[in-house]
Amino acid sequence: MDTKAQLGRLGLFDARVPRYTSYPTAPHFGKSVGAGTFAGWIGAIPEGARISLYVHVPFCRRLCWFCACRTQGTQSDAPVIAYLETLKAELALLGKHLPKGVTLSRLHWGGGTPTLLKPSMMTDLAGAIREVAPFAPETEFSVEIDPNEIDGARLDALAAAGMTRASIGVQDFDPRIQESIGRRQSFEITRDAALEIRARGITSLNADILFGLPHQTGGRITMSVQKLLSLNPDRVALYGYAHVPWMAKRQQLIPSEALPSPQQRLDLFETARRLFVWDGYDEIGIDHFAAPSDNLARVQRQGRLRRNFQGYTDDPADVLIGVGASSISRFPQGYAQNTSATGLHTGAIRAGRFSTVRGHAFSGEDLMRGRIIEALMCDFNVRSAEICEDHEISPARLRALFEDVAACFDGLLQVSDKGLAIPPEARPLTRMVARAFDTYAMDTAGHSSAI
């Protein structure tokens, strides 16, 4: 039996599973975590600690059909200006609760389209953040940049604010595919944005590209990857397009009959993967690639790669605080999420309270299973010694757990006294293997294809 047939027999082409950027995943967050819990977790951060901060800007000038993020379109600056004032008030509220001496390990502006902010607004927001938590000497400040919504003045403002890494969304360069997903963005516009970013001394460039898009073929994704490689990105995220039109209504505009089959999705991924590897990139986890000199590649070689809501990261901080509507925070105690409605979020902040409405406090085996899943997603390998040392489980019980999971995958997984490993030929199954360690019930309708 060839590898693809074996993967198919194990259910790869039919399964819908989480991406596991958290454990438990967001659908399992509940109302037991509110603003009071969130404030208490902030207060428990040690003095002088380094934390990470995520700032969510939910506005876009146009709504791309493929996107399932929590965003809203606007052609006017009025709601953006009002939202910025809310962000500043939320940051000030956060500053009242943070212990002394806290500094930033990482800062990320996401969305939506944070680059629709005017230069003065960018400067204003960056200043408000620094008043709450100053940058550490090695702080990384990254921003999601839409090449269609950026110019020299805004790049100057971001560079002056301390941006060290830019992340450009590409998706695909083929005009027919762009038309079918509502995302017109020429290679020339993208290339010029990359050149302008680097001209300002910002040497770290990320790019996102999708496989599994309508009308996508091996030849088309090859052309798009080759164009992307000509920009010499330091990191690339090769995400599988998640077609969930019952959740993201705008995806109903995408011609579902033109989508590739799951088997074709695997072929598209493999085509792109080989091109990145041939060009000298290191494979990072299930869907990222990095230049060997990039810190993401270095931490992977050192066994320190981590995974969070932005994907793979080299961030060592134990605390990630999300600011803005729908943002999610992670603490050693659990997760907390703000309300997704900008009006409700604004109302809470104006009333002097955080807008936290849901979350999850870790209990039982959450931390152990979460670490097992993270290790699988990052390293394709779980070390028994680490799990037994950090969590209350005996080597015998852990091995039995590994063997039970391995039995579900037709002998493809490797179990030993050292731990559990997923060999290269079985790595397309990684999210399914992770799911086998997940004890929470799952509604498959809310998740993307396993490939």
Where is the binding site for S-adenosyl-L-methionine, in residues?
54, 66-68, 111-113, 144, 171, 183, 208, 242, 328
Answer whether 327's CB lies under 8 Å from 335's CB: no
Which residue carries 């994704």 as its tokens? 221
Answer whether 413's CB lies under 8 Å from 228's CB: no
Answer whether 429's CB lies under 8 Å from 423's CB: no
DSSP lists the bridge partners of residue 336 as: 329, 359
d(CA 107, CA 331): 16
H-assigned helices in 292-390: 295-301, 342-350, 366-379, 384-390
d(CA 286, CA 378): 7
Element (H, E) at 408: none
Task: Report the 10 Å Cβ neighbour count for 114.
Answer: 25
Pairing of strands 204-211, 311-313: unpaired
Task: Report the 10 Å Cβ neighbour count for 308.
Answer: 19
d(CA 22, CA 370): 8
d(CA 209, CA 225): 8
**Edge-to-edge strands of the sheet including 419-421?**
381-383, 419-421, 414-416
| Dihedral, CA of residue 34, residue 37, residue 38 and residue 39, to nearest 10 | 120
Q: Which residues are annotated as a binding site?
A: 54, 60, 64, 66-68, 111-113, 144, 171, 183, 208, 242, 328
Give the gyration radius of the chain's Cα atoms: 22
User: The tokens of 232 are what?
Assistant: 């010499």
**CA 338 to each of CA 8, 311, 348, 431: distance values in angstroms, whole numbers, following the listed order:** 39, 20, 10, 27
Identify the burial level of 100 via C-beta atoms within 10 angstroms of its C-beta, where 0-12 means exposed, 13-18 middle and 19 or more buried. exposed
Q: Which residues are annotated as a binding site for [4Fe-4S] cluster?
A: 60, 64, 67
d(CA 133, CA 113): 23
**CA 104 to each of CA 55, 108, 139, 291: distance values in angstroms, whole numbers, following the listed order:** 13, 11, 6, 25
User: The tokens of 82 are what?
Assistant: 């009002």
Answer whether 283's CB lies under 8 Å from 289's CB: yes
